[in-house]
């Protein structure tokens, strides 16, 4: 990565989890609504830094960037996001397992 | 036509690959005009900027460390990041 050794590339395909498909859909919806775009997605992704790149999965980084974009543009507030996250969390750890 | 990628490291969002900044390449073709991502990234009304495909020799990019100096890498770079290069 960036000219540095980064180990072998994993070429295995994997099925996407339901939540990952939803994250993908969220980007399409919020982009078509004019709330964000590919470049604003990438801006936040790249501002996250190398540590985040190592520690978060692809769609974890995407949803973080989408949330940041939605807060910037005023689609929802930080508090509204926190309240919603608590609500979803209360549905239990297996809520997002369906695919 | 030979061009040099600007060797600039501004803060903020740019799409110009870091490993090509300051490197000299040859314009392979014009790709078209696109919304400037540097403005788009901040939801500013973007200008339409020309995007060019530029070809670089591996020897130019990696210097003596290049495994295959005659191989090339091509990158699409916005015109405002390029300056004319005249070998003297």
Contact criterion met (CB < 8 Å) for A42 and B40:
no
Q: Closest Cα of chain B to A78: distance in Å?
A: 19
C-alpha to C-alpha distance for B31 and A59, rounded to whole angstroms: 30
Phi, psi of B57 (to 5 degrees): -80, 145
Whole-prediction pTM: 0.83
CATH of B2-84, one of 3.40.50.720, 3.30.70.100, 3.40.50.1100, 2.30.30.50: 2.30.30.50
CATH class of A18-89: mainly alpha
C-alpha to C-alpha distance for A6 and B58, rounded to whole angstroms: 20
Per-domain residue ranges for chain B?
2-84
Sign (positive or negative) of CA dihedral B7, B26, A4, A43: positive
Chain A contacts to B (CB-CB under 8 A) = 2-3, 36-40, 42-43, 46-47, 72-73
A28-61: per-residue pLDDT in tens?
999 999 999 999 999 999 999 889 888 999 999 9
Contact criterion met (CB < 8 Å) for A43 and B19:
no
Beta bridge partners of B56: B73
Instruction: Name the residue facing B19 among A3, A40, A72 (closest C-beta).
Output: A3
Contact criterion met (CB < 8 Å) for A73 and B43:
yes
pLDDT of A96 higher than 80: no
Q: Closest Cα of chain A to B54: distance in Å?
A: 19
Task: List all residues of chain B from 39 to 68 with a beta carbon under 8 Å from chain A.
Answer: 40-43
Q: Is B54 left (phi over 0), alpha (psi -120 to 50) or beta?
A: beta
ipTM tops the 0.85 cut: no
B26-70: per-residue pLDDT in tens?
999 999 999 999 999 999 999 999 999 999 999 999 999 999 999
Q: Closest Cα of chain A to B28: distance in Å?
A: 24
Q: Which runs of consecutive H residues, i.e. helices, occur in chain A? A: 18-32, 38-47, 50-55, 58-73, 78-89
Section A87-97 average pLDDT:
84
Per-domain residue ranges for chain A?
18-89
Provide DSSP, B2-67: EEEE-----SS---S-GGGTT-EEEEEEEEEEEE-HHHHTTT--PPEEEEEEEEEEHHHHHGGG-S
């Amino acid at each position: 990565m960036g000219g540095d050794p980064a180990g072998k590339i994993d070429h295995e395909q994997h099925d996407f989890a339901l939540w990952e498909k939803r994250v993908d859909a969220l980007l399409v919806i919020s982009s078509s609504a004019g709330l964000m775009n590919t470049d604003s997605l990438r801006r936040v992704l790249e501002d996250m830094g190398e540590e985040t790149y190592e520690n978060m999965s692809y769609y974890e980084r995407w949803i973080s960037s989408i949330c940041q974009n939605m807060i910037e543009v005023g689609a929802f507030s930080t508090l509204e996001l926190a309240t919603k996250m608590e609500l979803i969390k209360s549905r239990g750890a297996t809520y997002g397992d369906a695919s | 036509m030979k061009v040099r990628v600007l060797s600039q490291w501004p803060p903020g969002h740019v799409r110009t690959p870091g490993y090509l900044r300051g490197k000299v390449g040859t314009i392979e073709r014009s790709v078209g005009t696109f919304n400037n991502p540097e403005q788009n990234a901040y939801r500013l009304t973007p200008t339409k900027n020309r995007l060019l495909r530029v070809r670089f020799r591996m020897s130019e990019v990696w210097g003596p460390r290049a495994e295959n100096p005659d191989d090339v890498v091509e990158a699409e770079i916005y015109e405002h990041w390029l300056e004319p290069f005249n070998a003297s």
